Amino acid sequence: MKQKSVQTERSRNRLKSWLVLNLVLLSVVAVLSMTYPVEELSRRLDDIYFRLRRPLPTSNTVALVLIDDDSLSRYGRWPWPRALLARLIRATTAQRPAAIGLDILLSEAEGTRNDDDLTRAIKEAGNVVLATKVGSAQPRLWLDPLPVFIASSAGLGHVQAVEDADGICRSVPVRELSVEGPRWALALEVARVAKRVTLEERSGGLWLGANRVWSDGPAQNTRAPGWVSYSPDFLTINFREQYFPGQPRPPFVVVSAADLLSGKQAPAVGKKAVLLGFGATELSDRLPTPVSGQMPMPGVEVHANLVDGLLQGRDLRHLDVLPQVCFLIFFCLISTWLVLRSPGWNGVLLQTGLLLISYAGGYWVFVHAHRIAAFGPILCAGVLAVPLAQLENLIMVNRGLTRGLTQLRETIHGGQAPAEFASFRPVEPTPESTSDLQWRVDLINQLQAELGSLYAFRHHLLESLNEGLAVFAAGRILFRNHAWEMFCRKQGWDPEVRLGDFGRLLGHPNWADVEERLKESGLPLESEIYLGGGFWQIRCTPLDSNSAAEAAQWLVVVTDLKSRLERDQARADALRFVTHEL
């Protein structure tokens, strides 16, 4: 009963230590998660998902018309005359696209004739969405197209892209504010025109017709008489692989502007949302992205990826805070449990495996659910769990060692030590070394020397006895002397026999279930048995344990009574002879 209570107390202490370790680990990870290195680590690990994903089939909803190097070499350097741009829009309209997103700024007037021609081309198409962006010159805050172009277009969208602290574009603002009101992203306007639906905010979110547009950010609007405030929210781009000429399976149908201007047909563009913009290497409209190689991605292709995700329902966003926190807590609990259960290199390998499984799970969520989980805090928790667990073990060992040595010193100074330790005088710690390891090391060395000499003496003493001795704990043998080995071999038994098997081999009813009897009664057991042509006395005595947590130990003594009887018989015969003579 006492042993069970000790085990219960030990389990309770282990559970308490485990929970404290997780609390410390979560606190450290929470602080680190707000730092730039961990945020950057999360972004970089999320970028790997795009490269791990196998190339997607060519988009059936979006196409690109690029003003590439061939177009510039045939029709001259940029800027082109507005009349030539009007021809390009008409050639694109002839392919019957669902919408045309013109990723070209038209903020300056060129001439009445050319501007009118472009205005007519935009109006005849009826599905052209124009681009605008925030300017740097005052007093014009926005580089809007000319009013005649806006009036003839199907919509106006901003082309502002967000570059994170590492200079990589991963998202686009849902809206940008202007005096006229919020302006939606170009991709949203192109998707609205292509699907012929409305784009509106309702029910706490943004809706593209009947489909919810998911974004990252609070997306909270506050209205009051005379003013409206907007919280920034962003459209995370679900990038395909970057386009380059000669790809066996390109991400989009790509048509050169030179081909359309020369009268070539492009039936693959029909019924798709077409993004028209720059693809030439000499033009600077390029952005580094998670899938970019040596050459950054053209801005028009960035918006094409976003339109493709909106039209196909693959709009990407980050997981909410609550599921990520729950997963982080679950990961910390599992990782610390594994490290505490398997210390050393086994724990490190298990922790590495757990991190790989978690990252693979995040990749599965990315591919199938189009959600991104921040893996930086998970990686920090996995890396820090091992040293924190080892640190906790060291603290526990230090406390236990200090407590045990302090009790030993107090016991010896109090005169309660065994007689064998009468000559043992522990080192006295000085005030300077009380909190140091030196007095503990000296005390352990003294105790080790004393115990070593005492063990050698007792071992020699037990070996010199003629009686067979064996000490059992939990049914297994801990110690045996030479006489015990001789007794077992004489009977044909294994000297390492278990206590239960030893009782059954004796064949005596008192020893049939010796382990159960000893557990129930705890009393010594003694029997005289004829065995193997000899007469033996078998005694089993309990030994005092040093700790309540240790398993009960039993001393089994085997005495050869045959030689003792012969000696007693010889003494009796000699006594009778002397009596007879007298």
In angstroms, the CA 30 to CA 376 distance is: 11
Buried b or exposed e, range 73-106, using 16+ CB within 10 angstroms: eebeeeebbbbbbbbbbbbbbebebbbbbbbbbb
How confident is the model at residue 127, as a pLDDT? 92
Are 171 and 154 a contacting pair, CB within 8 Å? no
Which residues contact residue 498 at a Cβ distance below 8 angstroms, ignoring those fewer than 6 apart? 472, 475, 476, 477
Cβ-in-10-Å burial (0-12, 13-18, 19+) of 273 comes to buried
In angstroms, the CA 480 to CA 249 distance is: 78
pLDDT profile of the chain (582 residues), mean per 10: 62 81 90 91 92 90 92 90 93 92 89 89 93 76 89 92 89 86 90 92 82 77 57 88 88 92 86 92 84 89 93 89 92 88 83 92 92 92 87 75 70 53 50 53 70 65 72 84 86 87 84 80 78 82 67 83 74 77 70
How confident is the model at residue 440, as a pLDDT? 65
pTM: 0.69
Neighbours of 202 (CB within 10 A): 8
In angstroms, the CA 334 to CA 345 distance is: 17
How confident is the model at residue 431, as a pLDDT? 47
- Residue 412's SS3 state is helix
Distance in Å from the first CA to the final CA of the chain: 65
**Residue 169 belongs to what H/E stretch?**
strand 169-173
How confident is the model at residue 295, as a pLDDT? 87
Q: How far is CA 483 from the centre of its chain?
A: 59
Torsion over CA: 545, 548, 550, 552 (sign): positive
Q: Residue for token digits 């020397």?
A: 449
Torsion over CA: 508, 514, 517, 522 (sign): positive
